[in-house]
Structure 1
Amino acid sequence: MLRKLLLTLFGGLLLALLLVMAGLAAGWYGLRWYGDQKVPVTSDAGFIIVTGDSLGRVVQRLSADQLINYPEIFKLFARVRGVAADLQAGEYLIAPGTTYRQLLNQFVEGDVRYFSVTLVEGWTLRELLVDLNSHPKLSAPVELTKLTAVVGAFIKDAPQTDNLEGLFYADTYSFEAGTSVVSILKRAHQKLQSVLAEEWDKKAEDLPYKSPYEALIMASIIEKETGVTSERPDIAGVFVRRLEKRMRLQTDPTVIYGMGDRYEGKLNRRMLREPTAYNTYVIHGLPPTPIATVGREAIQAALNPSDGKTLYFVARGDGTHHFSKTLAEHNRAVRKYQITERREDYRSTVQPSM
């Protein structure tokens, strides 16, 4: 009797164990199947995990945004995998075809969405800040009047600390949502210092610059004078020869920069005679600071100017320039391109190719 009872009890326990094991196996295969299912989106969708968000809060918002099905199973899936507390804050891009397993991996690995901002060659510092401050994914905008105090921690080698024009490299920068404007400025300054040092080490001999900063000033003038890459060394050659001959640079962009907000789109003789620290029709040598943001090509041109004897150039009206060796030749070119044969579609920059 006892033996029969023990066998019955043992059989019951064995059956219960088998049922539990079968249930666990079914549950495991069920979660595995769920992980292979695709999120219910037909186009790219953004999702933000805020610092401090719990798994429950994340799943609740995913479900409310209709980005997942069966939210309770998603929570169980994360807990079984042991990553319920490992979701990282950030903005994520959920693409069509993403599986629940891949989505959870994104959250755990911090595979966040990246955005980009481009600092354009030839921009002034004011234009650069307006663009950064208006970017919807950047945080903590910076006012121009407070810039020196904000970036002083990492810009310590600028001769003109009251004017940081030109000290941020023109390039495209990727970043996570919520990155600060100052963070982009720091990267842009470090990139400028790196590129300037690289190009300074490869500069031509006997250039009239006392420092890389002076070469940067020249590069900014070249940047504003032409958008044609092939012309930059030729324009650099003109300006370098003028410096060597102690001739004034007489470049319009410096006059315009010195006028600031007073410039309304057109220069006249009075403006060219107006004394400012930047008016190279009045001062000898380089202006005190750069006048624009630059890229590598302008720096290369400033440090490797073309050889030759040209001392003048004038815009043809199609974005390119005519170069002259003598003042008489230059005056004829000015009359031709600016007066007698001036183009109806006159422009100072090259039309972008379609």
Structure 2
Amino acid sequence: MSIKKTNRLMVFVLCSLFLIVCFLFYTGQGIYLAKNSSGQEEVFLIKKGESIREIAAKLESQNLIKNDFFFLFYSFLGGDSRKLQAGEYLVSSSQNIPEITRKFVKGEVIKEKITVVEGWNLRDIGWYFENNGIFQAEEILELVGFPGKDFSNEFNFLEDKPKNLGLEGYLFPDTYEIDKEEGVEEVIRKMLRNFDRKLTLDLREEIEKQG
């Protein structure tokens, strides 16, 4: 190989390395430096079925990140592009892209507290959800009333429940945290899981006697 060709190759390699270093420096700053150190939190919604590109574009349009490319690059590089969970989040432009992505992957959505009061019947529960703008009362009653949905294959304690009765008495009175992307069935499952956790053997026997 001639000296001229060797010099050209050397120049090409050095230029390539310089461009790679510049790209990594530029991209690293875009990823690890927040857009605004004093940004306020605002609500950011990820809808079910939304693509990673749509999420990145929304983050940029809401001025939460500098450029959607940085979010896409980091998400694909870290393998998080398919792990982002739907829901409403509080996000700030003072957070960098790893912090925002971590929040989406962990599903740290805005939670709404609801309280089911002891002594409420199914209709009371249905109207409570409707009055709070969460679900329609009819949605609740169709699911937990008679005939309703059969949850006995998921919760063993329902196997002895009379078939002609709904879930009245099984939706444990308590305060629950839910997010807006949770469907009505998942909220009912949450209440049934709570019933299963908190119901003692004595209480189960008492319910069976009453039944």
Using the size of structure 1 for normalisation, the TM-score is: 0.48
**Larger of the two Rg values belongs to structure:** 1
State the partner residue of 2:187. 184
State the partner residue of 1:244. none
CA distance in 2, matches of 1:140, 1:35: 45
Q: Note if contact 1:47-1:93 (Cα within 8 Å) is conserved in structure 2.
A: yes
Alignment of 1:104-123 (within 5 A): 104-107=101-104, 109-115=105-111, 116-123=113-120
Q: Which amino acid aligns with 1:68?
A: I
| Residue ranges of structure 1 left out of the alignment (5+ in a row) | 202-210, 218-288, 290-354
SS in 2 for 1:57: helix
Give 1:193 deviation, angstroms: 4.1
**1:99 to 2:102 alignment:** no
State the partner residue of 1:61. 58
State the partner residue of 2:207. 213
CA distance in 2, matches of 1:169, 1:14: 73
Q: Which amino acid aligns with 1:152?
A: D
State the partner residue of 2:155. none
Shifted more, 175-184 versus 24-33: the winner is 175-184
| Backbone CA RMSD of aligned residues | 3.3
Tell me: CA distance 1:128–1:38, structure 2 relative to 1, closer, same or farther (3 Å).
same
**1:152 to 2:150 alignment:** yes
Match of 1:125 among 109, 119, 122: 122
CA distance in 2, matches of 1:86, 1:13: 41
Q: Which amino acid aligns with 1:58?
A: I
The number of residue pairs the alignment matches comes to 202
Give 1:85 deviation, angstroms: 3.7
Give 1:191 deviation, angstroms: 2.6
**1:12 to 2:2 alignment:** no
Q: Note if contact 1:132-1:141 (Cα within 8 Å) is conserved in structure 2.
A: no
- 1:31-89 Cα distance to aligned partner (Å, 9 max, x none): 2222222244733222222343333222222222222222334334444x253742524
| Residue ranges of structure 2 left out of the alignment (5+ in a row) | 153-157
Using the size of structure 2 for normalisation, the TM-score is: 0.75
CA distance in 2, matches of 1:140, 1:125: 9
CA distance in 1, matches of 2:136, 2:92: 25
**1:168 to 2:171 alignment:** yes
